[in-house]
Amino acid sequence: MSTHRLQRWAIIWMSYQFEIQYRRTADHSNADALSHLSCGPDPEFDKFKCCHQQENYDTPINVELLQQHYKDDRVLNRVKTFILERWPSKLSSCDMDLLPFFRRKYAFIIQNNLVYLQSNVTQVVVPNSLHQSVLKLLHEGHWGVVKMKQLARQHCWWHQIDDDIEKLAA
């Protein structure tokens, strides 16, 4: 009945160092979720075969909107050209606005006609025209600077995104 549930918990617990100790009920008065397993089978819960991170978000900024704004972004179009063809050995003086991209040139990929930065997670590179909209979305829950940066690092990137977040949330 609870095999799948225990497997999911085991996967979550693998990232922690812990020791399980038995405690009699009389030794503690606080009850937690693990001390109260469900009564009877839960067929809906056990139907799930594995855990997934949701990757499809219904947000105001989607792939189509990003692609539309990419068309007018000179910097990102130059970056896409360099990724597809080849980065120069050094940037010319007219391409100094590409310096933040040039420093990470091997970490960028193109997918769905968009530029992505690959690090621990894959982040979409947001065109300049959408920076304020993305900042507004990041700040929607009135998060502080640290939480906004964490959210941004999971999803998007642009040069000086941290500075923009600090200006907005400060």
What's the rounded Cα separation, in Å, for the pair 91 and 107?
Answer: 17
Across the strands, what pairs with 157?
125
Q: Is residue 53 part of a domain?
A: no
User: pLDDT band for position 11 (50/70/90)?
Assistant: confident
In this model, does residue 62 exceed pLDDT 70?
A: yes
Q: Which range has the worst mean pLDDT, 28-37, 87-96, 153-162?
A: 28-37
Specify whether 85 is located in the same domain as 145: yes
Over residues 99-127, mean pLDDT: 91
Strands of the sheet containing 122-125, edge to edge, are 108-111, 114-118, 122-125, 156-157
State the residue for tokens 């979720």: 33
Q: Is residue 146 part of a domain?
A: yes
Which of 136, 112, 137 shows the shortest CA–CA distance to 125? 112
Q: Is residue 55 part of a domain?
A: no
Containing structural domain, residue 30:
3-47
Q: What mean pLDDT is reported for the chain?
A: 82
- Of the two residues 61 and 131, the one the predictor is more confident about is 131
- Of the two residues 169 and 123, the one the predictor is more confident about is 123
- Domain count within the chain: 2
3-state percent breakdown (helix, strand, coil) of the chain, nearest 5? 50, 10, 40
